[in-house]
Structure 1
Amino acid sequence: MTEPLRIDIVSDVMCPWCIIGYRQLAKALEATDTAHEIHWHPFELNPEMPAEGQNTREHIVEKYGSTPEQSEQSRQHMTAVGHDLGFEFAWAEDSRMHNTFNTHQLLHWADTQGRRHDLKQALFTAHFTERRNLSDTAVLAEIAAENGLDRAEAEAVLADQRFANEVRSAEQFWQQQGITGVPAMVFNRKHLVTGAQGVENYTNILAQLADMKD
């Protein structure tokens, strides 16, 4: 029996290219019928982001020096790419970036119940499609409950920060591996691919990895 391909994905739910890259990879995995297991890991794009968050467009201009026109072009491009992958980006003037340390703690807790992947997908949708406030712990607990997890336990996890040290350690581990941007995907613990590569490129990567195993 062939051992499934291990794929470690380092990402943040604030990162539009993370959901795009994952959706592209998922299509390639399906097309090549590749047996695989996915492991998600935390990365904070903006660890210094205040609790109230920041307007997305303002943040992009501040962080990357983009003009409003460049920002709008980028949004239109991501929306079109997302549409082709069955994911809806619902950008608005009041779209906000959030601090995701609590989000990563919630995902860590979900992982103890085998639900990290499902919750990760739900959080991408909550942020980019539904424009929900992921800075709000009540909203995070609500999303957890909508995805079959215990709301009261989710609230408790966020209130007592019981997984804060584990999340910090995981973030530091991946930074020490040289990960400075996301998405970052590591195949079979040794082949690093960064950025959203497109379905065709992921398909080629999977073929190369399959050839290595033969």
Structure 2
Amino acid sequence: MVVRIVDDDEELLTSFRFLLEGEGWFVRIYNSAESFLEKDNFNVPGCAIVDIRMNGMNGLELQDTLNARGIKLPLIFLSGHGTIEDVVDTLQSGAVTFLSKPASLEKLREAISKAMDCASEINEQKSDIRNWHSLTGKEKEVARLVSQGLLNKQIAGELGIAERTVQTHRTMVYRKLDAKNNIEVYKILNRLNLIN
């Protein structure tokens, strides 16, 4: 996982990079929101520490752009000039937290830890979505019924197919969803909001 730092203060970029790499994080730095949008690989999970006030695109505009593009990246806002309105706006738009400059190492650690937990959840959901889309139509039907705790015989009756066919589909559902049992299938479908 990567910690991105987006700030137009070169001195802060350098010191934060040094500090966070010393904590064991892989760090990428960007001196503008535009550079970040152009050069970052958003497929790599992690988080971003973003200054609210920058030359060019500011942190709020960057957050709006990421949201508009459907890029789910946990953001930690950092500012020496943040208003209460800024704090509220960023948090309502999905930021993990808002820190005042200069932020202590302890507060930074806590914020990054919380953001990385969010990044893990986002990554897990992306994986769930990919896995769900790998199922055939019939496997999806079986997965929904498996998540309800139905036995193969019950699913066969429900779908009007042979019990042996249900067993084959169930095996593929477990394999493709990376699930061991019906409870894990239920949890995955629940995370994807597929449970009625």
If the TM-score is normalised by the length of the shorter chain, which range does it land in? under 0.3
Ranked by relative contact order (alpha carbons within 8 Å, sequence separation 6 or more), the top structure is 1
State which structure, 1 or 2, has the greater radius of gyration over its C-alpha atoms.
2
TM normalised by structure 2 equals: 0.27
